[in-house]
Every structure is written in structure tokens, then in C-alpha cells.
């Protein structure tokens, strides 16, 4: 609260008073404040509207329908699935080695996904043989998911 001079009689009045206590003239400070208040009321709704519009346009995650197929995610999932299949084939080969810890797999051989969802790949590795030396070995692996969605090796053949 501040004191202002009445524009009519010059008496000091509160800027919050509606009119001068001495002469009864309407306070200019009070009128101006009322005008500013009115202006705020007029300007706030459009501002709110812009904010709400912005929130709406930026995407409301709750109302957006779920995307059935995200190509990037689908590709990532398939790559992960292929990797799981490859790892299982390698594990199976390793389990049959005389010296499993000596196995060095050639990781450059790619896996191929068949139309029925099965994965085929050639596994090449070097491992310690029964004679103590490192020898090369090559396997063919065919792996497929069973009815419960679990990878199962359907074929694992050592190539001569």
C-alpha cells in the first residue's frame, strides 16, 4: 500500500482507496489498478489456450493408440532373437568339446533366418584336440523355436 495525492484536492490518500476521503473524487491509482486487473483477466485465457494447445500438439501419450509395428524395434528384436539362437548353437558345440575353455569361435559367420522362423548357421571354431594341438572344426546348426517359444536345436552336424 502506498500513499498518492488526490488529483482534485491534493490530499494524501491510499492507492487502494476507491475515492478521496476529503473531496470524494475517484482515485486515479485505484482506477488504473482495476484496469490492469481487467487486462490480466482478458489476457490469461488465450495464454492458457496456447499452453494447452502446445501440450496437445506435443503429443498426449495417454490418448495415442499403440503402434502395432515399430520397424526399428521389430528389427532389433529379430537381431536379438538371432543372437540368442547363435549363442545356443555355440553353447551346444562347446559342451561337446574335449576342452571347452579352449574354444575360439569365428564370430564373422552370419546367421540366416528362414521363412519359418528357424535360424541356420555355420559355426567355425578352433579348439584344443585330444592330442593337445589346436584344430579347426566346423558345424552346421539348425535351430527353431518350439511351441512354447523356446529355442531348440533341431540339427547340429559336424562337417568333415
Q: Which three cell numbers stand for residue 11?
A: 490530499
Report the largest interatomic distance among the alpha carbons of the chain, rounded to a whole angstrom: 120
Neighbours of 4 (CB within 10 A): 17
Number of Cβ within 10 Å of residue 130's Cβ equals 8
**Helix or strand or coil: residue 22?**
coil
Q: Which is nearer to Zn ion, 32 or 158 (CB)?
A: 32
Among 3, 5, 9, 155, binds Zn ion (CB under 5 A): 9
Question: Which x/- pattern, by CB under 5 A, does the window 19-58 give for Zn ion?
Answer: -x-xx-x---------------------------------
Q: Which stretch binds Zn ion (CB under 5 A): 12-20, 44-52, 58-66, 120-128?
A: 12-20
* Smallest gap from residue 35 Cβ to Zn ion (A): 20
Residue 6 as a binder of Zn ion (CB under 5 A): the answer is yes
* Nearer of residues 22 and 155 to Zn ion, judged by Cβ: 22
Whole-number Å distance between alpha carbons of 78 and 87: 14
Per CB under 5 A, the segment of 14-22, 101-109, 114-122, 127-135 that binds Zn ion is 14-22
- Nearer to Zn ion by C-beta: 20 or 123? 20
The DSSP line for 79-118 is HHHHHHHHHHHHHHHHHTSSSGGG-EE-TTPPPEE-TTS-
Looking at residue 102, what DSSP letter applies? G
Q: Which residues bind Zn ion (CB under 5 A)?
A: 6, 8-9, 11, 20, 22-23, 25
Amino acid at each position: 500500500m502506498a500513499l498518492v495525492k488526490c488529483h482534485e484536492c491534493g490530499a494524501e490518500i491510499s492507492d487502494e482507496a476507491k475515492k478521496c476521503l476529503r473531496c470524494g473524487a475517484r482515485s486515479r491509482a485505484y482506477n488504473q489498478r482495476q484496469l490492469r486487473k481487467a487486462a490480466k483477466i482478458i489476457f490469461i485465457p488465450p495464454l492458457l489456450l496456447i499452453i494447452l494447445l502446445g501440450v496437445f500438439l506435443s503429443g498426449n501419450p495417454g490418448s495415442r493408440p499403440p503402434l502395432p509395428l515399430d520397424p526399428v524395434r521389430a528389427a532389433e528384436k529379430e537381431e536379438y532373437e538371432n543372437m540368442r539362437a547363435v549363442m545356443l548353437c555355440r553353447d551346444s558345440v562347446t559342451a561337446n568339446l574335449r576342452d571347452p575353455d579352449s574354444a575360439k569361435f569365428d564370430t564373422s559367420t552370419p546367421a540366416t533366418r528362414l521363412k519359418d522362423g528357424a535360424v541356420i548357421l555355420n559355426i567355425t571354431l578352433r579348439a584344443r584336440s585330444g592330442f593337445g594341438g589346436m584344430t579347426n572344426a566346423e558345424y552346421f546348426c539348425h535351430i527353431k523355436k518350439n511351441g512354447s517359444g523356446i529355442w531348440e536345436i533341431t540339427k547340429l552336424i559336424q562337417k568333415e
